[in-house]
Amino acid sequence: MQAFADLIQQLERSPGTKDRVAALAAHVQSVDGADGAWALALLLGKRRRRLITGRRLRQICLERSGLPEWLFDSCHAQVGDSAETIALLLPQLALPPAAPLELPLAEWMESRLPALAALEAEAQAQAVLMIWAALPDGQCFLFNKLLTGGFRVGVAAGLVIRALAQVSGLEEAELAHRLMGGFEPSPEAMQALLAPLEAGVAAPISRPYPFCLASPLETERLEATDPAGWQLEWKWDGIRAQLIRRNGQTFLWSRGEELINASFPELDRMAEGLPPGTVLDGELTVWPAEASQPAGFGPLQRRLGRQKPGAALLRECPAAFVAYDLLEQGGQDLRPEPLSQRRAALEDLLQGLPEAVSSPAAGLLRLSPVLPLGSWEELEALRQQARSVGAEGLMLKALDSAYGVGRRRGLWWKHKLEPMELDAVLLYAQAGSGRRANLYTDYTFGLWDGEGRLVTFAKAYSGLDDSEIAELDRWIRRHTTERFGPVRAVEPLQVFSLGFEGLQRSSRHRSGLAVRFPRILRWRRDRTPESADSLTSALALLEDPAVQR
Amino acid sequence: MVLPGDGLIQLTPEGLYCPAADAWIDPWRPVSRALITHGHADHARPGCGEYWAVASGEGVLRQRLGAGIALTGVGYGQERRLGGALVSFHSAGHVLGSAQIRISAGGETWLVSGDYKRDADPSCAPFEPVTADVLITEATFGLPIYRWRPGRQVAAEILTWWREAPQRPSLLFAYAFGKAQRLLAELAALGVEEEVLLHGAVQTLMAPYRSEGVVLPPTRPLSELPRNASLAGRLVIAPPSAHRSAWMKRFVNPQTAFVSGWMAVRGARRRRGFERGFALSDHADWDGLLRSVRDCGARQVYVTHGNSDGLARYLREEQGLAAEPLGRAFEGQRGEEGELVAAVATAVTSPVAAS
């Protein structure tokens, strides 16, 4: 495991892309297939299984060290990560010296860690303590991370793929594709992943294509081009998905590469009517057959993560797949074809389908309509209509573009509506984690209720720049009125404009409202807390037909 | 929590005040008489009528507060009478000329620790344990996650880091007063004899250290080098405020590192954007704080700076000592590590534009 620990350290210390890719490539080449496969799975975040809870590790650490729990919590607030907190506290455990323990990464992952997880209370504590005592400094943190399943390295998948391309001589796009739909860490999988094209290793039929992603619109760049070169669509407010029909089987993949067939049985059935060798790219929505627009994100959320939904839920929140691209037809990869041709093929395909699949009455498979656009001047008016059709903005896709892998700036643009906005007062702060450890960066905001009290309304993490974060952190420390573990209550003095995508009534929230994607737009130093918005103004947004879908 | 109103030392808007000596300790605002624990900007502020400090720190203080200040230099351990009180300065091991201040009057003795550390440091006198009835201690690193390795060992790692990059300039960021000189002294002790280049803010502090006889490698201000001189393989020490400033433009492909106790934590290392973080501090670590409280034998402990609440609670609940935080008044006064404020202040007031 030392080689992997060294790699992680090297990645942390090298700011340059080139150095990081070189370190990754060197690692894959220097370790054996089993360790390489595990390194890859961990770096790509494909293995995050929790074997022991952070709480249990903390308990073992506390019992041995005799440190009070509140002190551990203070340490955790400073470090932002329990695995690292424990690693830093190990000297306080006064563990007896032990012979150094060095095992291959694969052995840790495949046998040692699972065996440790299977042990009972005291035996487990003793085993963990023995390993802590025997591991070299740098490995304790890694060990804790792997055990608690929270291992994440700040390295983009793109860099890992670039390194694999260097090692194998394969195209990055080919590797990205081969990595889709899960990677089982084994020497065989590693070999298949890096096998030359000529070797003709058969792809699993479930494998999805890497998603082509859009970038936020750069208006100037867009307007320098001819509107006739673009396909304009609504940006649907659902989740991105890929629907695969191959060899008589259906695979519905989410953008996060999870198979979600079981959650959407009606779509699973619908796909049986698709011709063999079909892959559709589209948006998963809740959209009743008779409705003219989707039901919004709230109902969709009720369906997500719910395996085998009941009949009532299926009736109340019926799903629809809104198709906007055809990636495979008759088993042939259409991605290199220009969008104009793929679109034509998609429209033909849907027209030729049996009624039960694509008829408006069934409503299960819908075609994302192409919007007419004569000139760039019309764009803004169209965008403003997005909410009225239940969309969250516009998508612009270059008609002559192939279906790319990942985010290729300039081929697909997203042009979202301005988010809704309210001014709220900072009430609580909590230290962040990772890069933001020991900085107060997780904020809770309140709005005024009818009786002159501030009611918590939303939490937001992002939106301030580093210097604002630092300044606010200092302010929070000096204006703390109370502490609840890692959370500080502050004097209600600072006002922030919060943006959010959606608003819903909710009985689970004190304010009676649930917000979607809240974020900080601006620090309103010009505003006094009294001038912040009230729950009434939030409710007005909720009632506003122009705002709600 | 505030100090009792009838104690030997009280908390006033200007800071800690001893009525018997009619003197403030490290006051936050100009006062008639200031007893200074050490020269960092959050402890030594300009504008006071008279200053009392350790003689070996006089050079630094005059440079920072003005050559003409009314300063009485006192040797470590010397007892001086101030009004109705006996005052003595005892080595704190923090930086050159740093002191814990001990005050006795009316049969009671108080000790104000200032900033201190227990680890060996070749650039200043070692910490001297002092007993008192009441202790006011700092707690900048008052959490058990902070546990320092010997400075010599960290310096050896820094040396390796420097030597392994002969093609690149090695830019080491460290607080200009204290940490930079400690590193240089450690490098000298490791046998480094080649010239180290300095940012102007660090350079201004070299003379006081050299005149106190601290053994240091040869140094030169970066600004004295010809504009086109190659910096590959050179070690350059600069204050953290210079990181990502215009000053860095002249370096071609430098490797950067920050030396600070905060670098013990991964998140802090990643956040600061340095390639390397070396954990080395001039403050006491957790064990050092507990040991110092024990050594002092005080019946009452007050805790300032950093995790003052946490250390006080630990002393109270786990060690059965009467301990209270003097928290918030001090928290607003401190900079990043104390030293960071000092470094920035120096960078602003010294002629660094040329470097």
| Nearest of B160, B343, B175 to residue B258 by alpha carbon | B175
Q: What is the CATH number of the domain that holds A483?
A: 2.40.50.140
B307 chain-A contacts, CB cut-off 8 A: 74
State the residue for tokens 């009534």: A505
Output the six-digit token pair for B120.
């060996």
pLDDT attached to residue A200: 77
Q: What is the average per-residue pLDDT within B102-131?
A: 97
Q: Which three-class secondary structure state does DSSP give residue A476?
A: helix
Tell me: the pLDDT tens digits for B44-60? 999 999 999 999 999 99
Strand B15-18 and strand B10-12: the pairing is: antiparallel
Catalytic residue numbers of A read 235
Distance CA A543, CA B13 (A): 52
Q: What is the CATH number of the domain that holds A243?
A: 3.30.470.30
Is residue B41 scored above 70 in pLDDT? yes
B309 chain-A contacts, CB cut-off 8 A: 483
pLDDT tier at B328 (50, 70, 90 boundaries)? low
The distance of B209 to chain A (nearest Cα, Å) reads: 33
Tell me: the pLDDT tens digits for B173-213? 999 999 999 999 999 999 999 999 999 999 999 999 999 99
B341 beta partners: none
Question: Do A362 and A298 reside in the same domain of the chain?
Answer: yes
Is residue B327 scored above 80 in pLDDT? no
B170 beta partners: B235, B255
Interfacial residues of B (vs A; Cβ cutoff 8 Å)? 143-147, 264-271, 273, 275-276, 286, 307, 309-310, 313-314, 317-318, 328, 331-332
Output the six-digit token pair for A159.
């860099």
A480 chain-B contacts, CB cut-off 8 A: 328
Q: Are A437 and B310 inside 8 Å of each other by CB?
A: no
Q: Are A437 and B265 inside 8 Å of each other by CB?
A: yes
Question: Do A376 and A473 reside in the same domain of the chain?
Answer: no
B274 chain-A contacts, CB cut-off 8 A: none
Q: Is residue A448 part of a domain?
A: yes
Question: Do A410 and A429 reside in the same domain of the chain?
Answer: no
Question: Do A399 and A427 reside in the same domain of the chain?
Answer: no
Q: Is residue A48 part of a domain?
A: yes
Tell me: the pLDDT tens digits for A419-473? 678 889 999 999 887 777 778 989 999 998 877 788 898 998 877 888 888 889 9
Is residue A548 scored above 70 in pLDDT? no
Tell me: the pLDDT tens digits for A162-181? 999 999 999 988 998 999 88
The distance of A164 to chain B (nearest Cα, Å) reads: 24
**Which residue among A97, A115, A148 closes a domain?**
A148
Is residue A253 scored above 90 in pLDDT? yes
Is residue B352 scored above 50 in pLDDT? no
Q: Which residue type, as a one-letter code, is found at position B335?
A: G
- CA dihedral (A101, A185, A117, A63) positive or negative: positive
DSSP class per residue in B57-95: GHHHHHHHH-TTS-EEEE-TT-EEEETTEEEEEEE-SSS
Q: Is residue A169 part of a domain?
A: no
Distance CA B173, CA B240 (A): 5
Residue A272 contacts residue A243 (beta carbons within 8 Å): no
Q: Is residue A336 part of a domain?
A: yes
Tell me: the pLDDT tens digits for A27-58? 999 999 999 999 999 998 776 678 888 889 99
The distance of A438 to chain B (nearest Cα, Å) reads: 8
pLDDT attached to residue A39: 95
Calculate ∠ Cα B48-B52-B55, nearest 5°.
130
The distance of B143 to chain A (nearest Cα, Å) reads: 6
**Which residue among A101, A133, A148 closes a domain?**
A148
State the residue for tokens 């709220």: A424
Question: Do A406 and A431 reside in the same domain of the chain?
Answer: no
State the residue for tokens 């490698």: B217
Distance CA B107, CA B93 (A): 28
Q: For chain A, how many helices (H) and strands (E)?
A: 22, 22
Average pLDDT over chain B, rounded to an integer: 90
Q: Are B267 and A437 inside 8 Å of each other by CB?
A: yes
State the residue for tokens 């790692």: B157
Q: What is the average per-residue pLDDT within A285-311?
A: 87
B264 chain-A contacts, CB cut-off 8 A: 88
Q: What is the average per-residue pLDDT within B64-75?
A: 96
Output the six-digit token pair for A274.
């698709």
pLDDT tier at A311 (50, 70, 90 boundaries)? very high
Question: Do A290 and A429 reside in the same domain of the chain?
Answer: no
Question: Which of A74, A91, A436 has its CB closest to that of B307?
Answer: A74
Residue B262 contacts residue B268 (beta carbons within 8 Å): yes
**A280-294, A474-488, B19-33: which has the minimum mean pLDDT?**
A474-488
Q: Is residue A39 part of a domain?
A: yes
Q: Which three-class secondary structure state does DSSP give residue A391?
A: strand
Instruction: Give the chain A residue nearest B286 (alpha carbons).
Output: A92
Q: Where are the alpha helices (DSSP H) in A120-181?
A: 121-134, 137-148, 157-168, 172-178
Question: Do A309 and A427 reside in the same domain of the chain?
Answer: no
Question: Do A362 and A386 reside in the same domain of the chain?
Answer: yes
Residue, of B208 and A509, whose pLDDT is higher: B208
Q: Is residue A160 part of a domain?
A: no
Q: What is the average per-residue pLDDT within A214-226?
A: 86
What's the total number of domains in chain A?
A: 3
| Nearest of A331, A359, A325 to residue A345 by alpha carbon | A325
Q: Is residue A525 part of a domain?
A: yes
Backbone angles phi, psi at B209, to 5 degrees: -70, -45
Instruction: Give the chain A residue nearest B318 (alpha carbons).
Output: A68
Is residue B338 scored above 50 in pLDDT? no
Which among A291-295, B55-59, B346-350 has the top mean pLDDT?
Answer: B55-59
Q: Is residue A405 part of a domain?
A: yes
Tell me: the pLDDT tens digits for A257-267? 888 999 999 99
CA A38 to chain centre: 22
pLDDT tier at B351 (50, 70, 90 boundaries)? very low
Question: Which of B265, B270, B309 has its CB closest to that of A79?
Answer: B265
Q: Are B147 and A91 inside 8 Å of each other by CB?
A: yes
Percent of chain A with pLDDT over 70: 97
Average pLDDT over chain A, rounded to an integer: 88
Distance CA A78, CA A70 (A): 13
| Nearest of B198, B266, B209 to residue B234 by alpha carbon | B198
pLDDT tier at A297 (50, 70, 90 boundaries)? confident
CB-neighbour burial class of residue A324 (10 A; exposed 0-12, middle 13-18, buried 19+) = buried
pLDDT attached to residue B346: 29
Calculate ∠ Cα A405-A408-A413, nearest 5°.
115
Is residue A526 scored above 50 in pLDDT? yes
Question: Do A270 and A337 reside in the same domain of the chain?
Answer: yes
Question: Do A448 and A507 reside in the same domain of the chain?
Answer: yes
Question: Do A335 and A229 reside in the same domain of the chain?
Answer: yes
Tell me: the pLDDT tens digits for B241-254? 999 888 998 999 99
User: Which of B42, B143, B315, B341 has the highest number of chain A CBs within 10 A, making it the mutation to test binding with A?
Assistant: B143
**Which residue among A112, A130, A148 closes a domain?**
A148
CB-neighbour burial class of residue A378 (10 A; exposed 0-12, middle 13-18, buried 19+) = middle
Output the six-digit token pair for A477.
């420390």
Helices A157-168 and A33-43 pack at an angle, to 10 degrees, of 150
Helices B339-349 and B58-65 pack at an angle, to 10 degrees, of 60
Question: Do A386 and A427 reside in the same domain of the chain?
Answer: no
Residues of the domain holding A429: 420-543
